[in-house]
Structure 1
Amino acid sequence: MAQSIVRNIASSIRKAKYFSIMADEVTDASNKEQVVICFRRVDDQLEAHEDFVGLYMVESIQSDNIVHVLTDTMTRMNLSINNCRGQCYDGASNMAGSRKGVVTQIRALEPRATYTHCYGHALNLAVSDTVKQNKILRDVLDITFEISKLVKFSPKRDAMFTRLKEELVPGTIGFRTLCPTRWTVRAASLHSVLENYAVFQALWQEVKESRIDSEIRARVTGVEAAMNKFDFLFGLMLGERLLRHTDNLSKTLQNPSMTASEGQNIADLTVKTLSTMRSEEAFDIFWKQVEVLRQQTGLSEAALSRKRKAPFGSEVGRSEGYHPSSPKEYYRRQYFECFDFIVSSIRDRFNQPGYTSLLNTENLLLKAAKGDNYGTELAFVQDYYGDDVILSSLATQLELLTTAFTPQLEEVTLSTIKSFLQSLSLAQKASFSEVCKVLCFVLVTPATNAVSERSASALRRVKTYLRSTMSQVRLNNLLVLHAHKAETDTLSISSCLNEFVAGSEHRLRIFGKFD
């Protein structure tokens, strides 16, 4: 049954011709390294599909081993690497290394295989960079993670929290655990702490009054002391305000139909939104919100730390070092600093070399539809994709595209061009065959490697510690069926049975053929 699904996927990829490779590494329940392999293709209706095709067990995740896995998989599925137009992995050195990384070796075999560093991983790294640069945010996430361990790892304290929540703030959301390895749960966790601030304050008092060992008492006392400081409240609200935008961006990027070009556009929109929040007016409103919550929770007012003189060896010149004149000025600086960090980090992480080719390819279609001069972009597409496109036919069809969109007054985007081509009949679409091919190059490049991440999560459900001794072949087949449930339901059972018995004379004699 699993082989039937994989054969159908391989047939669909060959029909689409061009594809992208996506891969990820994961360790299963029996401590074996597995490489998750997925492909992205674009069908005749210009809709993108991402398909998991299986696992490959390796001794190590060195780049040479992963390249062998990918090329062997393509050979088994009768796919030519010459038709690979994209690749998407995380940013680890074995994948994205400039000398011997998987990206470099694949591009040596096919230079047109544009590499995209998974935008989900890139965004996660941008958020991590921001948190590491600011001490207030770093302490807030550490303390929130400690709260997660104190509450969720203890059924007794979890029950106490639930009871206090129903008594003090009934109807509010519960506590959301902070998972450091997931992409889109940080803001929800910080928001849940804000909603249940009074509950946690009461919880720590009740926990300390109960019989607990000295280690837990010290951890609870430390968390309670941190939550009674203005720094924690300020950082909690600032972190929630920042991370809800990055979490929303992360969720959007994980859509399977999202292309790398569209991912860049939505990332630019998020950066512009965060930039508008970096203003004096926005900070004044934010400061008032912090003060209101501070009064509700009974925390002390913000205070400046003691002014200290710089060490003798680090003094430069005779001027006095900077020291804020008021607590609001100090926290204003922290506010602006965090927004500067997150904006610059997202821009740096999303500024990828492979995006240049996608941008030129997309601009070729957009400029042609708007009637602008696209000579530079046409020359780039001809040089980059070579014999993939027929230049004379493409130039003619771009002129047709200009004529088709000239009467329209609405703004032309890649989505409007895609919708226009989808509305054409099969015979009419032949007049735009090269334009469809160029659009396919943009659509086939994935924005994230989320499908591989989801397949790795499915591996945890299929191969558990109770089923850790199953063979690799059985594991692979079960996971393919698990990942493609809809396709599994449409399989012809009689065809699968006939294929099974045809593989052995002994089976054929016992079971015969099925109708």
Structure 2
Amino acid sequence: MKQQMSATRSKCLCVCAIYINNGQPAETFVGFHEVKSAKGKALFQLVLDVLHKMELRIEDVVGQCYDGASNMSGKEKGVATRVQEVAPKAIYVHCYGHLLNLALQDRLQENTVIRNALGVVQSIQNFFNTPKQENVLRSVHMPDIDPTPYNPYIKLKSLSETSWSCRWEAVKAVEQQPERILLALIELSKEKDVKTFVDAKGLVKAMLEFPFILGLHALKVIFSNTNALARYLQGHDVDVMTAKTTCDATLETLKKCREKICFLSFGKKPEKLQQI
């Protein structure tokens, strides 16, 4: 049996059990369990209690999967170590989805252009996060700048605080409709309300600056190519060999994006933006 757990900020433990049923792997959501302490000792005791209620023995556990938090995977006092003390066969595996999230977070936070672009994306969502201003965005008149039909309105989304791989939806909502957003901001910059005027003007300026356009293109390349990998790693049918193959393919794709022809496309401001 494989035990999979994750502790949340609300001090709630999610427990899932993966096991073999009639020769086939199966996964069961055991439940959310409130914890009084997020320390490894308390979480380990909760694991024992959950298994006891399910009439299962801790000694039969052969695998465990957590994130990299010290209370879960710490070598001395983490849950993984405590479980292995009573169940030596319970091999610990750092959640692959969490590893991908950490890799994206570490690399993207180090880049000023990327970090600032994400900040603008979040600021855009914050600005339009009112019924009045979202309605302007939704109903803005789209001029016939070129014969190509515009994409329909896409609801803006907030950046995920913890899962960087899930930030693609928020970035995509801006990347796919910059003209609509800019026209809505220009319309709202005519408002008499000082804060609305200042915020709208500031966002128009930020969106038309080259660093933001470059950062948005880079985020599109990175997130669009890692999104499928993130979804697979969090799926029910994940296996080690396919995960490795998918990871290698993602890395190769990202390496090809470093080629000159791909990089040159970053510096081209969309034609429709040039006409606004």
TM-score by length of 2: 0.89
- For residues 132-147 of structure 1, the aligned pairs below 5 Å read 132-147=109-124
Name the counterpart of 1:23: 5
C-alpha contact (below 8 Å) 2:175/2:220 kept by paired residues: no
Is 1:209 paired with 2:209? no
Which structure's relative contact order is higher, taking Cα pairs within 8 Å and 6+ residues apart?
1
- For residues 162-181 of structure 1, the aligned pairs below 5 Å read 162-164=138-140, 170-181=150-161
**Residues 34-74 of structure 1, C-alpha deviation per residue, up to 9 Å, x if partnerless?**
222110012223x3211111232221111101000001211
Name the counterpart of 1:263: 243
Name the counterpart of 2:101: 124
- The total of aligned residue pairs comes to 270
Name the counterpart of 1:109: 86
Is 1:34 paired with 2:12? yes
Query: Aligned with 2:199: secondary structure?
Result: helix
Q: Which amino acid aligns with 1:41?
A: Y
Q: d(CA) in 1 for partners of 2:252 and 2:150?
A: 37
Moved over 6 A (4+): none
Residue 133 of structure 1 deviates from its aligned partner by 1.2
Name the counterpart of 2:181: 200
Name the counterpart of 1:225: 205
C-alpha contact (below 8 Å) 1:190/1:236 kept by paired residues: yes
Q: d(CA) in 2 for partners of 1:229 and 1:59?
A: 49
**Residues 435-488 of structure 1, C-alpha deviation per residue, up to 9 Å, x if partnerless?**
xxxxxxxxxxxxxxxxxxxxxxxxxxxxxxxxxxxxxxxxxxxxxxxxxxxxxx
For structure 1, list consecutive stretches of 5 or more residues without a partner in the other structure. 1-18, 300-515
- For residues 84-483 of structure 1, the aligned pairs below 5 Å read 84-151=61-128, 153-164=129-140, 170-181=150-161, 182=163, 184-214=165-195, 216-279=196-259, 283-288=260-265, 290-291=267-268, 293=270, 295-298=271-274
Q: 1:268 to 1:61 in 2, by over 3 A?
A: same
Residue 141 of structure 1 deviates from its aligned partner by 0.6
Q: d(CA) in 1 for partners of 2:269 and 2:191?
A: 32
Q: d(CA) in 1 for partners of 2:171 and 2:100?
A: 18
Q: d(CA) in 2 for partners of 1:83 and 1:264?
A: 28
Q: Which amino acid aligns with 2:19?
A: R
Structure with the higher fraction of residues in strand conformation: 2
Q: d(CA) in 2 for partners of 1:129 and 1:266?
A: 21
Q: 1:104 to 1:228 in 2, by over 3 A?
A: same
Residue 27 of structure 1 deviates from its aligned partner by 5.5
Residue 184 of structure 1 deviates from its aligned partner by 4.4
Q: d(CA) in 2 for partners of 1:184 and 1:173?
A: 23
Query: Aligned with 1:23: secondary structure?
Result: strand
Query: Aligned with 1:291: secondary structure?
Result: coil
Percent identity reads 24
Residue 139 of structure 1 deviates from its aligned partner by 0.5
C-alpha contact (below 8 Å) 1:116/1:260 kept by paired residues: no
Q: 1:58 to 1:187 in 2, by over 3 A?
A: closer
Q: d(CA) in 2 for partners of 1:173 and 1:159?
A: 11
Q: 1:263 to 1:79 in 2, by over 3 A?
A: same
Q: Which amino acid aligns with 2:212?
A: F
C-alpha contact (below 8 Å) 1:147/1:223 kept by paired residues: yes
Query: Aligned with 1:220: secondary structure?
Result: helix
Query: Aligned with 1:91: secondary structure?
Result: coil
Q: 1:68 to 1:78 in 2, by over 3 A?
A: same
Q: d(CA) in 2 for partners of 1:61 and 1:171?
A: 46
**Residues 367-413 of structure 1, C-alpha deviation per residue, up to 9 Å, x if partnerless?**
xxxxxxxxxxxxxxxxxxxxxxxxxxxxxxxxxxxxxxxxxxxxxxx
- How well do the aligned residues superpose, as a CA RMSD in angstroms? 2.2
Structure with the higher fraction of residues in helix conformation: 1
Q: Which amino acid aligns with 2:181?
A: F
**Residues 288-327 of structure 1, C-alpha deviation per residue, up to 9 Å, x if partnerless?**
364251x43129xxxxxxxxxxxxxxxxxxxxxxxxxxxx
Q: d(CA) in 1 for partners of 2:175 and 2:154?
A: 11
Q: 1:165 to 1:254 in 2, by over 3 A?
A: farther
Name the counterpart of 1:331: none
Query: Aligned with 2:268: secondary structure?
Result: helix
Query: Aligned with 2:32: secondary structure?
Result: strand
Q: d(CA) in 1 for partners of 2:167 and 2:81?
A: 34
C-alpha contact (below 8 Å) 2:213/2:269 kept by paired residues: no
Residue 77 of structure 1 deviates from its aligned partner by 1.7
Query: Aligned with 1:60: secondary structure?
Result: coil
